A and B are shown apart, each in its own frame.
Chain A
Amino acid sequence: MLKMKNISITFNEGTPDEKIALRDTDLELGKGEFVTVIGSNGAGKSTLMNVVSGNLIPDIGDVFINDKQVVHLPEYNRSAFIGRVFQDPMAGTAPSMTIEENLAMAYARNKKRKLKPGVTKQRKELFREFLATLNLGLEDRLNAKVGFLSGGERQALSLLMATFTEPNILLLDEHTAALDPSRAELITKLTGDVIRKFDLTTLMVTHNMQQALDLGNRLIMMDKGQIILDIDGEEKQKLTIEDLLKEFQRIRGTQFENDRAVLG
């Protein structure tokens, strides 16, 4: 479904601020695979995401989605195949537009936008059905402006908008990190549900090790622009935080340097 080959990207090359964000990284995701990505700050997690989404073009390397080379496809073209939820709950929705209008925009993601009404009766029914699965009562507030929703509600809506058109790839970029614990738990649960429901191929970046262990069927750990650990199947199910920290120390010979990740 998603194949990344020999991806390398360097920021500010040739200046004192030079930073190698990804070096010769390979990653392949099969259909329905749900991969959680962990790593300390600056490990290259976000860069990896941005290379998939088309936000960043790698210096070298290829990205294939469904065996189609997309590395030079601009973001707005590529996002027809990719659903995305951002860390900032405000980033994934348009605040001055209504819930149904936001959903209508997401509905048009993998279609050609035309000069036909975006919100139709039929679509409203569909939106209501999908909103009901969130159990937040949003299905009765189709005409409410999204700006009036709480952060948790907005993130739940973003999640729905990213997934209900069943994208080839779902990208989750620390999408629970900016929420309070109970809301984060809700979104985490909804994420698991929706990915199972649509059998979505997913790449999820998280700072929360427990979340990385609870969700998904494969886990990769990144450090200094490389994937240093890749565990799936039964082994992943049995994994604990201590195992991860030990693994990191074994591979890198240093302590995992992120308090936030340990505490999370």
Chain B
Amino acid sequence: MLLSLFNAVELGIIYAIMALGVYLSFRILDFPDLTVDGSFVTGAAVAAILIMNGVSPITASFLAALAGFLAGCVTGILHTKGKINALLAGILMMIALYSINLRIMGQPTLSLLNESTIFKQLESIWEATGIDAALNGMLTFFGADRLPPTWSVVIVMILVTLAIKLLTDYLLKTEVGLALRATGDNQVMIRSLSANTDFLIIVGIGFSNALVAFSGGLIAQHGGFADVNMGIGMIIIGLASVIIGEALFGVKTIAIATLAVVGGAIIYRIVVAMALRVEFLETGDMKMITALLVIIALVAPKLLQARKEKKRRLEKRARLNQEKVGEV
């Protein structure tokens, strides 16, 4: 139980980078970008093939992000210059990327089990620090019997994801970032304030997919394989993270919203991990669980709000009636 929770957090924090990418396209640019299903795999494919060819895992991860950036830019160009509807542009790119990903990998699946990955390198450095021993000692003290093999991934990835979150926060507050946000909010207005909205959309969707592909590259190294089908439903997972996070933590400022997205990604993984422990559910049910989660996260807050409103009105009415009775 504890171990699966630990694994969920570990995965969640890596997927959070992908969720931040989805947040950028969906929320900031108001662009429902389905490229994500393809660009996630592109990131995994690029990272895997490069590592297998002897490129250092860190360089490979950054090149994976670059590949995602380019894929996103193409979607942006299709939408802005080709005037293709945003959803369709994303779907077209997603389909095209499926073939491109196969070409990159040369075969449907690549195994990284015998390769050096960013996480294996990390672990070997990590072992010398003795942090694992201390943390696991604490867990044993609290009565855990199955211990996580390493804390390096969770701790380092929290730092990496937070760094990306802070960078995103900063970028969205720069002059260019403000124009980017306005592009998703009121295009007519920001164009009248001399911003090139086409360029902003292209770069924005590019940046969004760079994060998605970076996350894909890391997931491939974490899981030890890249598979051409690993991106199916990724957009919904990203969306689930964004919506769950927003429902739980709010969206008052950009900094809170991005933190909510990271939190949402982790909570999503925990919920899935818990759901999979339920006996009659199978791994194949995961997509449906995801869909249900998104639906609940979308509908529940509205229902709660409506109930609260109704209660408030009824109470107000009751108070008024009471006062009237008092007058008589």
Interface presence of A41 (CB below 8 A): no
What total of A-B pairs shows CB separation below 8 Å? 90
Let me know if A117 and B192 touch, CB within 8 A.
Answer: no
Q: Size band of the A side of the interface?
A: 35 or more
> Which A residue's beta carbon lies closest to that of B193?
A109
Let me know if B185 and A96 touch, CB within 8 A.
Answer: yes
Interface window among B172-180, B271-279, B300-308: B172-180
Given contacts A80-B194, A115-B171, A115-B174, contact A108 B179 (CB under 8 A): yes
- Least CB distance from B164 to A in Å reads 16
Among B175, B191, B196, which residue has its beta carbon within 8 angstroms of that of A118?
A: B175
Let me know if A105 and B179 touch, CB within 8 A.
Answer: yes
Let me know if A118 and B178 touch, CB within 8 A.
Answer: yes
Interface presence of B122 (CB below 8 A): no
Interface presence of A53 (CB below 8 A): yes
Let me know if A106 and B175 touch, CB within 8 A.
Answer: no
- Least CB distance from B168 to A in Å reads 13
Interface residues of B in 221-247 (CB under 8 A from A): none
A194 to B204, CA, bound (A): 36
Interface window among A3-11, A84-92, A203-211, A220-228: A84-92
Complex interface: chain B residues within 8 A of A117 (CB): 170, 173-175
B interface secondary structure, majority: helix
Interface presence of A148 (CB below 8 A): no
A113 to B193, CA, bound (A): 11
Interface presence of B91 (CB below 8 A): no
Interface presence of B188 (CB below 8 A): yes
How would residues 95 to 132 of chain A score, 1 for a CB under 8 Å from any chain B CB and 0 otherwise? 11100010011101111011111110000000000000
> Which B residue's beta carbon lies closest to that of A81?
B194
Interface presence of A247 (CB below 8 A): no
Interface presence of A93 (CB below 8 A): yes
> Which B residue's beta carbon lies closest to that of A79?
B194
Interface presence of B139 (CB below 8 A): no
Let me know if B175 and A91 touch, CB within 8 A.
Answer: no
- Least CB distance from A168 to B in Å reads 12
Interface presence of B269 (CB below 8 A): no
Interface residues of B in 167-214 (CB under 8 A from A): 170-171, 173-179, 181-182, 185-186, 188-197
Complex interface: chain B residues within 8 A of A104 (CB): 175, 178
Among A53, A93, A118, which residue has its beta carbon within 8 angstroms of that of B189?
A: A93
Let me know if B181 and A79 touch, CB within 8 A.
Answer: no
Complex interface: chain B residues within 8 A of A96 (CB): 181, 185
Let me know if B186 and A95 touch, CB within 8 A.
Answer: yes
A110 to B195, CA, bound (A): 10
Among B175, B189, B192, B196, which residue has its beta carbon within 8 angstroms of that of A116?
A: B175
Complex interface: chain A residues within 8 A of B197 (CB): 76
Let me know if B196 and A76 touch, CB within 8 A.
Answer: yes
Among A84, A114, A119, which residue has its beta carbon within 8 angstroms of that of B192?
A: A84
Complex interface: chain A residues within 8 A of B171 (CB): 115
Let me know if B174 and A79 touch, CB within 8 A.
Answer: no
Let me know if B194 and A92 touch, CB within 8 A.
Answer: no
- Least CB distance from A173 to B in Å reads 11
A96 to B190, CA, bound (A): 13
A104 to B182, CA, bound (A): 11
Let me know if B173 and A105 touch, CB within 8 A.
Answer: no
Given contacts A95-B186, A97-B181, A105-B182, contact A75 B192 (CB under 8 A): yes
A80 to B252, CA, bound (A): 32
Interface presence of A94 (CB below 8 A): yes
Complex interface: chain A residues within 8 A of B191 (CB): 75-76, 79
Let me know if A79 and B189 touch, CB within 8 A.
Answer: no
Given contacts A76-B194, A110-B194, contact A119 B189 (CB under 8 A): no
Complex interface: chain B residues within 8 A of A93 (CB): 186, 189
Let me know if A53 and B178 touch, CB within 8 A.
Answer: no
Among B174, B178, B194, which residue has its beta carbon within 8 angstroms of that of A77?
A: B194
Let me know if B193 and A115 touch, CB within 8 A.
Answer: no
Complex interface: chain B residues within 8 A of A92 (CB): 189, 192
- Least CB distance from A193 to B in Å reads 22
**Which are the 7 A-B pairs with shortest beta-carbon distances?**
A94-B185, A113-B175, A79-B194, A118-B178, A80-B194, A94-B182, A118-B175
Chain B positions near chain A (C-beta within 8 angstroms):
170-171, 173-179, 181-182, 185-186, 188-197
Q: Besides A53-B192, A79-B192, A94-B186, 20 other CB < 8 A contacts?
A: A76-B191, A76-B195, A79-B193, A79-B194, A80-B194, A86-B192, A91-B186, A95-B186, A97-B178, A101-B181, A105-B190, A106-B193, A108-B179, A110-B194, A113-B175, A113-B179, A116-B175, A117-B173, A118-B178, A119-B173
Chain A positions near chain B (C-beta within 8 angstroms):
53, 74-80, 82, 84, 86, 90-97, 101, 104-106, 108-111, 113-119, 161
List 23 A–B pairs whose Cβ atoms lie within 8 Å, in order of A's numbering: A53-B192, A76-B194, A76-B196, A77-B194, A86-B192, A90-B186, A92-B189, A94-B186, A97-B178, A97-B182, A104-B175, A105-B178, A105-B182, A108-B178, A109-B193, A109-B194, A113-B195, A114-B174, A114-B175, A115-B171, A115-B174, A117-B174, A118-B177
